Amino acid sequence: MGNELLRSKERILAIDALRGFAVMGIILLHNIEHFNYYSFPKTDSPLLASLDKHLWDMLFFIFSGKAYAIFALLFGFTFYLQSRNCEKRGEDFRNRYMWRLVLLLGFGFINASFFPGEILVLYALLGFVLVPVRHLSDKTVFWIACFLMLQPLEWCKVIYALINPEANPQQMIYSLGDVYPQLGGSSWWEMVKVNFVTGQLASLNWAWCYGRVFQTASLFMLGMLIGRKGLFRMTDETHDRVMGFWQRVGIYALPSAVILYYLKDFIYSQIKNPFLKASMETIWNSWYNLAFMLVMVSAFLILYWVNKGKVQQILVPYGKMSLTDYITQSIIGSFIYYGYGLEMHRYCGTTLSLLIGIAFFLLQLAFAHWWFRHFKRGPLETVWHRLTWIGKKHQ
């Protein structure tokens, strides 16, 4: 029993560490992007220009589309845990969960005021898809998730483009360029106003146009399904099954990611119709990011369990306060790079921005370690938890 309890705790810590890894990737990307304000200084140094380009490509190769995918997978897993715990007490988590999503939407609105590209609003809206599927069979949930991951809307566009060769690619109604004047301006209030409305609409528009809506909903369901199957739970009894599952995931996902990566340029080069090409890029990139993300998750978890978290456990406190990490990134990051604050977008290319991001991450990490020596939950996590379970004293 002691060993089983230890392994169970390790499983929880492994997921916290994995979530911390994802948030770390997000903060590094956001910094080199200047929190979606793509304004960069020119450099006369060929060496620095080359370094900037290689660092940019490397970070996007590792984290772009993958860190958010990990986040989405664990969102679905968290839903499963909370729902299961309620069922054990004879309660229905549905209403509490929907209220929890409304609260998350509020956090998302706060975050959106500082960062035109945040994901909490999208997660809060898409999180409702878990309500109708929560009692469906594992097989049914799996096939629904697969159908969504196939990007059905994009395949409809592909068929339309084949029937109508003269069709033009879909134009985004809102774009980040619409908010650039205010991001670079000196007025904090004007920045907040444009981010809250136009910036958030641009973010949601981008998610719809580039397949993020269907992919995220699919990952929510897959995370819930992984929870049902106990595939994040490492105990003496489940060790061989869980370890074997993630080994197989890595074995299949790695060559899939390599094939998808090296074939994409060839596939794109064969398509002349811009409308058809845009849809195929969305489909192909979605599948590639899924495969690469599964490689990262399987490798991270196997390494954690084999080494008992000796290295990755440093990320555990950081992952336990991911909501606080994410929102404070936006608030402080906007002050660092935007016009109302320090205007560092004028001075920092990719290399310097990455160094700022690393320093920013280390400060957040140190704060998280200090915080959890004194408190059970992160600052915003505490607020979210208490408001979720308002009226329930035992919570």
Mapped onto helix, strand or coil, the DSSP state of residue 269 is: helix
Q: Specify the pLDDT at position 4.
A: 36
- The residue type at 228: R
- The residue type at 237: E
Q: Taking the alpha carbons of 259, 260, 262, 268 in that order, is the dihedral positive or negative?
A: positive
Backbone angles phi, psi at 238, to 5 degrees: -105, 5
State the Cα torsion 312-381-109-59 to the nearest 10°.
0
Q: Which residues contact 24 (CB under 8 A, 6 or more apart)?
A: 315, 318, 361
Q: Specify the pLDDT at position 169.
A: 67
Q: What is the DSSP string of 330-373?
A: HHHHHHHHSTTTT-GGGT--HHHHHHHHHHHHHHHHHHHHHHTT
Distance CA 309, CA 10 (A): 8
**Over the range 195-229, which residues count as b (16 or more CB within 10 Å of their CB) and which as e?**
bbebbbbbbbebbbbbbbbbbbbbbbbbbbbbbbe
Q: Specify the pLDDT at position 233.
A: 83
- Mind listing the pLDDT tens digit of every residue in the chain (395 residues)? 333 333 444 447 899 999 999 999 999 999 999 999 999 999 889 999 999 999 999 999 999 999 999 999 999 999 999 898 888 888 888 999 999 999 999 999 999 999 998 899 999 999 999 999 999 999 999 999 999 999 999 999 999 988 988 877 666 677 888 899 999 999 999 999 999 999 999 999 999 989 999 999 999 999 999 999 999 988 778 888 999 999 999 999 999 999 999 998 888 888 888 889 999 999 999 999 999 999 999 999 999 999 888 889 999 999 999 999 999 999 999 999 999 999 999 999 999 999 999 999 999 999 999 999 999 999 999 999 999 988 776 55
Q: Specify the pLDDT at position 80.
A: 94
Q: Can you read off the two tokens belonging to residue 345?
A: 């977008």
pTM higher than the cut 0.85: yes
Distance CA 319, CA 63 (A): 16
Q: Can you read off the two tokens belonging to residue 166?
A: 């003269």
